[in-house]
Structure 1
Amino acid sequence: MLKILILFILFIPYLNGDDKVEVYATKMDTKDNVVKAYGEVIVIYKESHLTAQRAVYDRNSGELELFGNIRATQGSDIKLLGDYAKLNIANKERTFKPFYMSEQTSNVWISGAKSYAKDDEIEITSGVTSGCDPDNPLWKMEFTSSEYNTNTMWLSLYNARLYIYDIPVFYTPYFGYSLDTTRRTGVLPPMFGYSNNEGFYYEQALFIAEQNWWDLELKPQIRNQRGSGIYSTFRFVDSRVSKGSLVVGYFKEKGDYFLENDLANETHYGFNFNYVNTDVINQWFSANLKGQSGIHVDINDMNDVEYINLSTSDSTLTSTATQVISRINIFYNNDTDYFGAYFKYYKDLTKESNEKTIQNLPSLQYHSYLSTLFKDHLLYNLDIKTNNYSRAVGKSATQTDINIPVTFQTSLFDEHVNVSYKSYIYAQYTGFKGNEELPTANVYNDGLYARNSHSLSISSQLARAYDKLTHVVDFGSQYIVGGSETRDGYYNEQKDYCSQNIHKNEDICEFYNISDIEENLNLFFSQYLYSDDGQQIVYHRLSQNISYEDANGGIGELENELDYKITDSIDYYNNMFYNYNERDISKNFNKISFNGNGFNIALSHMYKNSFLPGADKTSYMTSSLKYDYNKHYAYNFRYDYDLEEGYKKSMELGFLYKKRCWDFGLRYVENNRPILDQNGVSGSIYDRYIYFTIALKPIMSSNNKSSEFVYRIPDDSEGN
């Protein structure tokens, strides 16, 4: 038990009142303005709390010296150790010999021969740092000098050498990283890789965040056998309801690589601009409208798919297509009305020019929400949409659709049977503009099409509760029949020609999107099983369409949908269509998954057959497996295979070993990625990679791809 402490408070006359030192000790001597304290010495200075075996304070110089087994705490996160410390109260300077600091939030420690601190900056001479156990660290970084800011928590190391155990593996004249997750300007961990085809890969990202409303990430990269480029991402939050980002990239191929691989372009470039505002009208126009308004901008452009392939070293993370779509959506919505304006621009990367591509600039929509009359027995709403289809070369059109459904509904037999009648009033007007590319016999006269159709629905829903289950059954039928219709102009002239499927893709039929209403009967049945805690166990639905039209009459495809939660861990889903005419299944999707005991397993298969001449069938299998053996070991497997084409789409096999201060992982990846050659023909390259994950925590993370080293395995079959 401590003896009774003697308290003395030292004041420096020319300092502010807050700059005071409190010293507690069991024994104290004073001679010639020098105060010596012995025993259980405790020093409190601002947010610092220090203990030592003895202390000496010189009133003349304002220096406080501490000796023997010094322990210091600064705030709640930083712990300091040493044998000697000197505090100059007047100059706000602090010196430790030797120096040891532990930052509790990040679990990083720093040890040095000497430290000098003033204000928030600590300078450390000749030391070592790590995030591992200090007794036998798996990794450590030695340095000749270091700087640490206790406010920003940024650590800078000079002449840094990285050791795995006692083996030197890396040297850099400067290395800096943050000990917290606060966004700040700095150099991000680099990415390395090697490919037999592209050579050594190196990417060094720079993160700039000088203000809290924006940041900029620059990612220059070098592939020494292929070329070099840079990608950048600018992110911003310009208000509490809006944010956006701009991604820009450029890559220049080396001449030899460009010629050997028969690429379409020697340079690859593009950009993406994304912006969202969830209260755009009130913010931009200083309005005070009730309801919701918003704008979503997603503008994309690139000269070919290689722009996407080169954006990362992991091609499995990219999703490429031959068509790029840019969108701008604007809307205003309240309790009764909806107004929308949509802009779509399409770019086909397989074409040298998109002057013949039809663009939708803009599409305008007005929707009046459901209204009721006569105690909710009569329901009606209105929807109007105008599409402006335009292009530089070829015929363009403005097409307006009007849809007015009117429903009368009631219940019979004490609400056991529900009956509804619906009348659909629909009209479409098309006005043409522009000229055809070549003079033909096609005639594009403005046209109007209008019709009404009817449906009668009868349904019933029954529910019954058991001891541990509740069973709900919903079944009924819907009869649909066309009514009167009127056509003139384009719709009358092209009715017989464009209504045939074989002509759908011809120029004259590009704007003919009228589908006839067939007289048909739809029978449906669905059932649900719920557990006593309300969780859905089974969802099952059957739907059968019967057509009464002479031309295409007969029984339509039978649809069966099942979602079955077999156990708390096992789920099964099936969606199947059966074609009576072909006596075969036209579509069948199955998925079974298991999640429990550390396993996450999913297996799915998609089969589709349109039965059209020349059309390919689809038969595609995907599978994935993740297993967390314990808190240290995790394994994963993924396999995607095209059964119809008979080739592997992608495959991945790997594991990750996690420790407190480091992660190590290994992944083997195969992936089929698209390319575009000089003839504008889309092809593919089959990539095989090995990814090594080495994450030295906290300066790296296994969730960040920058902790991976990638090696591309040579493949004689690439470029197929």
Structure 2
Amino acid sequence: MRALLLISLFVCAIASAQTPQGDKRKIFELSANNVTSRGSVVVAQDNAFMLSEDVYMYADKITYNREEESALLEGNVRIYRGGSLFVDAARVEMNLKTKHTILQPAYFQNENGMWFSGREVQDSDKIYTFKKAIISSCDVQFPIWHLKSTSGHYNSQKEYISTWNSRLYFGSLPVFYLPYFSFPTSTERKSGLLTPELGSTSREGFVYIQPLYIAPFKQWDITLLPQIRVDRGRGINAEFRLADEKNNIARFNVGYFRQYHEYMKDFNLLNKEIFGFEFEYSRAGLLEPLFTNYKDHFYTSIMYMNDLEYKRLQKLNGRYSTRLHTSRINYYGQSDNHYVGMYFKYFSNLAQANNNNTFQTMPNLQYHRFLDTIFTNHLYYSLDVQSKNITRHTGYTYWQNSINVPIGLNFSLLKDYINVNGKVDLYASNVSLGNAQDTLDPLSRERVERSMQYAYANYELGINSDVAKAYKYFFHTMHLEALFNAPSYRYTSDAMSDQVYQAYSELAGSMSSAALEAYWNPNEIMDFSSAQPKVDLKFSNYFYNTQGQELFFYRVYQRIYTQDQILTQNQSLRQEVGTTLFDGLNITANIFYSYIAKTFNEASVTASFNKFGVQSTLNYFFRIDSRALQAGTYNDAASRSGFLRGSLRYDFGYFQFSGNLGYDTQNYYFKDWSVILSRDIRCFGIALKFAADVRPILTRNNIETIANQYIKVEFRFVPLAGVGFTQRLQNQ
């Protein structure tokens, strides 16, 4: 029978009156197959085990002195603290009273796989001091990478390591020297320096970006990114993140960069100082506790920048080519029957000198009553009320209030094979102009009226049918629908009549944009095609396999104006088709056919393949400008645009390949491309990237483009850090 001795000195240290903590308990336990005691010394051998507070220790032999409260562990010593620390040593001396421990030699490993070993390690209250240590997260016998340090310490409670005179080795080859290095050993957020970005370009010279991460509290943190571009200038970016009680993250970014005078002069740039800010926040349930059966959502995304370079300068090779941006602040709430919304929109276009004459929505208020029945299940209605404040710095502004009430009747025929519906759409709107003292009526060429009204009553008749049938190997559904819509009543103020609409269209064809700003534009308020009788024809069908997976679909839509052939010719025949030829391959296409041009005026095709370890996509887009179609100049190269984009990713085992390609099929040039060769194992990763892109820049004259080609190499030492270097090859 196993001999067991429990020295269970649950030493109940009754604290004195001066100790504010009250009772304290120190848990101690010692056991083994063979335990002997001589005076105050206890010797435990064969599967010896010792527990001291939260530390579990195993050894071939444990010698414990009860008077000195010290222990000596010898032979195959293994020490555990919860699941976060593992220590392997040949000999350990510890004083349980002072918590001072000497380990010779020692091997430490935490739950994330990071380990270090040293000839001698001393522990003082869970802070381990070591000399001549090796640190890595790779295989112990043959690590791909490791650090050799002359000295350092490991704080097991705060979970970080600090080392002095460290050399980074790749295999047996030394590659980098670090006089001092400190890094966390856990995945929890900790303040400190992050991996820098290093690079060199022909335009900017040497580039160094050094992120500094500050996380003083769990609910918020800051990342500072000071940078220097030796031949271009200096700047700093900052990102502030704050988590609310529901763990929704609010992000605020701000950046500033000052360019050298010589750099601006050499490249004829517009802005010496580049700056901007961004704010994003989204939250559901903002006001839900105040109301019964109510759900809401708040969302904001705001960005301001004086130059496209603001976004690009946040990274070494930042890419950003979007000249148009919309900032939004949205809120909506809804119950079973009601919906309320408030929307702010601010449009900015960096291709313009300023956005003073751009209409901004500040705000748009909306109330909507969801579709509901009245008197009978076949009679339905809904209600929509909106109030829009459309403003800008230069030119007229307007406030528009509108109400829309559709009332309809719906019933089925022929055992539900055919569904018939009729609807009356009632709409009324009032428009009040502001800052319009110099705005002219396009028809009379006199000052436009400040207040105007627009109302109509349209009726709609529709018929549709949905049929489905199961076959032996597939399932088929089909939908057919025809809608006829026409006005039964219409009223407009003089400034919104058809004649004003036609007069403005004639002015737009003969005047410059600057001259046209002096005239009232009725197109901003109303869609004149809504007053025209029209028929909408829709057809769709779907095929599914016996497991419910979609095999093929086809949809087609056509609008016909019954009293205006020109409007009909301006419409396109819209077709959508998609198929899954086999598992892993999906193809979809959208095609628009123009009757005026007697050709396809818009098309997009997407193919994706994901099987056998291959992930690839191919997208094609083609479009003819609608104004060129109406003017008959659609064959001009300037009126056409087309793009091809593809991506491919495959893991060959020894390395992973991924590539992207963007090609302008109209102007015959590559917009961007990249090829990445990478290799990742448990503790190490390497990536080599070749890339090029064409990016717009703001100059004093106009927006120009430059070609950017670069090579980037990146090393990832998991979980320690990663480092990369970028070399730009060409700028044009």
> Is 1:568 aligned to residue 583 of structure 2?
yes
The one-letter amino acid of 1:454's match is Y
Q: Distance in 2 between matches of 1:182 and 1:188?
A: 14
Residue in structure 1 matched with residue 573 of structure 2 by the alignment: 558
Residue in structure 2 matched with residue 361 of structure 1 by the alignment: 362
Comparing 15-24 with 355-364, greater Cα deviation is found at 15-24
Residue in structure 1 matched with residue 414 of structure 2 by the alignment: 413
Residue in structure 2 matched with residue 662 of structure 1 by the alignment: 684
* 8 Å contact kept, 2:387–2:400: yes
Structure 2 CA distance for partners of 1:199 and 1:442, relative to 1, 3 Å: farther
Match among 718, 722, 727 for residue 697 of structure 1: 718
Q: CA deviation at 1:314?
A: 2.7
Per-residue CA distance 1:660-686 (angstroms, 9 max, x = gap): 21011111111112211123x222221
- Aligned pairs (5 A) from 1:376-391: 376-391=377-392
Q: CA deviation at 1:618?
A: 1.4
The one-letter amino acid of 2:279's match is F
For 1:280, what is the secondary structure of its paired residue? Answer: coil
Residue in structure 2 matched with residue 102 of structure 1 by the alignment: 109
The one-letter amino acid of 1:323's match is L
Residue in structure 1 matched with residue 549 of structure 2 by the alignment: 535
TM-align CA RMSD: 2.4
Q: Distance in 1 between matches of 2:54 and 2:35?
A: 24
Residue in structure 1 matched with residue 472 of structure 2 by the alignment: 467
Structure 2 CA distance for partners of 1:495 and 1:35, relative to 1, 3 Å: closer
Residue in structure 1 matched with residue 5 of structure 2 by the alignment: 7
Q: Distance in 2 between matches of 1:59 and 1:420?
A: 93
Per-residue CA distance 1:183-204 (angstroms, 9 max, x = gap): 2222222222222221222222
The one-letter amino acid of 1:157's match is T
Residue in structure 1 matched with residue 405 of structure 2 by the alignment: 404
Per-residue CA distance 1:57-101 (angstroms, 9 max, x = gap): 333432211223322222224221222211111112222111211
Match among 441, 449, 453 for residue 454 of structure 2: 449
* 8 Å contact kept, 1:560–1:577: yes
* 8 Å contact kept, 1:669–1:690: yes
Q: Distance in 2 between matches of 1:442 and 1:384?
A: 32
Segments of structure 2 that go 5 or more residues without pairing to the other structure are: 14-23
Q: CA deviation at 1:439?
A: 8.4
Q: Distance in 1 between matches of 2:567 and 2:115?
A: 79
For 2:223, what is the secondary structure of its paired residue? Answer: strand
> Is 1:71 aligned to residue 78 of structure 2?
yes
Residue in structure 2 matched with residue 710 of structure 1 by the alignment: 726
Match among 596, 606, 622 for residue 645 of structure 2: 622
Match among 478, 481, 491 for residue 476 of structure 1: 481
Comparing 665-674 with 517-526, greater Cα deviation is found at 517-526
Q: Distance in 1 between matches of 2:11 and 2:572?
A: 94
The one-letter amino acid of 1:521's match is V
Residue in structure 1 matched with residue 296 of structure 2 by the alignment: 293
Structure 2 CA distance for partners of 1:554 and 1:290, relative to 1, 3 Å: closer
For 1:239, what is the secondary structure of its paired residue? Answer: coil
Q: CA deviation at 1:597?
A: 0.3
* 8 Å contact kept, 2:159–2:186: yes
Segments of structure 1 that go 5 or more residues without pairing to the other structure are: 701-705
Q: CA deviation at 1:503?
A: 7.7
Q: Distance in 2 between matches of 1:296 and 1:553?
A: 39
- Aligned pairs (5 A) from 1:52-201: 52-103=59-110, 105-201=111-207
Per-residue CA distance 1:667-715 (angstroms, 9 max, x = gap): 1111112211123x22222111112121111123xxxxx6432221123
The one-letter amino acid of 1:448's match is Q
* 8 Å contact kept, 1:355–1:391: yes
Structure 2 CA distance for partners of 1:275 and 1:124, relative to 1, 3 Å: same
Q: Distance in 1 between matches of 2:730 and 2:28?
A: 69
Q: Distance in 2 between matches of 1:521 and 1:301?
A: 44
Residue in structure 2 matched with residue 303 of structure 1 by the alignment: 306
Q: CA deviation at 1:282?
A: 5.1
Q: Distance in 1 between matches of 2:581 and 2:703?
A: 43
* 8 Å contact kept, 2:401–2:429: yes
Q: CA deviation at 1:348?
A: 3.0
Q: Distance in 1 between matches of 2:587 and 2:354?
A: 47
Comparing 252-261 with 651-660, greater Cα deviation is found at 252-261
Give me the TM-score of the superposition, normalised by structure 1.
Answer: 0.92
> Is 1:546 aligned to residue 560 of structure 2?
yes
Structure 2 CA distance for partners of 1:645 and 1:495, relative to 1, 3 Å: same
Q: CA deviation at 1:236?
A: 0.8
Q: CA deviation at 1:483?
A: 2.4
Q: CA deviation at 1:170?
A: 1.5
Match among 210, 228, 232 for residue 226 of structure 1: 232
Q: Distance in 1 between matches of 2:483 and 2:31?
A: 89
Structure 2 CA distance for partners of 1:235 and 1:511, relative to 1, 3 Å: farther
Structure 2 CA distance for partners of 1:49 and 1:657, relative to 1, 3 Å: same
Comparing 325-334 with 131-140, greater Cα deviation is found at 325-334
Q: Percent identity?
A: 27
Q: Distance in 2 between matches of 1:488 and 1:519?
A: 21
Residue in structure 2 matched with residue 595 of structure 1 by the alignment: 610
Comparing 159-168 with 620-629, greater Cα deviation is found at 159-168
Comparing 60-69 with 669-678, greater Cα deviation is found at 60-69
Q: Distance in 1 between matches of 2:481 and 2:6?
A: 90
* 8 Å contact kept, 2:440–2:448: no
Q: Distance in 1 between matches of 2:122 and 2:565?
A: 92
Residue in structure 2 matched with residue 205 of structure 1 by the alignment: 211
Residue in structure 1 matched with residue 597 of structure 2 by the alignment: 582
For 1:259, what is the secondary structure of its paired residue? Answer: helix
Q: CA deviation at 1:570?
A: 0.8
Q: Distance in 2 between matches of 1:531 and 1:375?
A: 39
Residue in structure 2 matched with residue 703 of structure 1 by the alignment: none
Q: CA deviation at 1:24?
A: 2.4
Structure 2 CA distance for partners of 1:107 and 1:643, relative to 1, 3 Å: same
Q: Distance in 1 between matches of 2:109 and 2:548?
A: 50
Q: Distance in 2 between matches of 1:17 and 1:458?
A: 82
Comparing 447-456 with 546-555, greater Cα deviation is found at 546-555
The one-letter amino acid of 1:544's match is Q
For 1:497, what is the secondary structure of its paired residue? Answer: helix
Q: Distance in 2 between matches of 1:280 and 1:309?
A: 34
Give me the TM-score of the superposition, normalised by structure 2.
Answer: 0.90
Q: CA deviation at 1:39?
A: 4.4
Structure 2 CA distance for partners of 1:198 and 1:570, relative to 1, 3 Å: same
The one-letter amino acid of 2:265's match is L
* 8 Å contact kept, 2:12–2:26: no
Q: CA deviation at 1:109?
A: 1.4
Q: CA deviation at 1:591?
A: 1.3
- Aligned pairs (5 A) from 1:29-68: 29-31=37-39, 33-68=40-75
Structure 2 CA distance for partners of 1:436 and 1:258, relative to 1, 3 Å: farther
Per-residue CA distance 1:429-485 (angstroms, 9 max, x = gap): 211111456889452212111112222111211111011211111113222223221
* 8 Å contact kept, 1:393–1:435: no
Q: Distance in 1 between matches of 2:179 and 2:446?
A: 73
Comparing 686-695 with 72-81, greater Cα deviation is found at 72-81
For 1:308, what is the secondary structure of its paired residue? Answer: helix
Q: Distance in 2 between matches of 1:280 and 1:44?
A: 50
The one-letter amino acid of 2:85's match is I
Q: CA deviation at 1:342?
A: 1.3
Residue in structure 2 matched with residue 214 of structure 1 by the alignment: 220
Q: CA deviation at 1:346?
A: 2.6
* 8 Å contact kept, 1:241–1:277: no
Q: Distance in 2 between matches of 1:35 and 1:711?
A: 66
The one-letter amino acid of 2:50's match is V
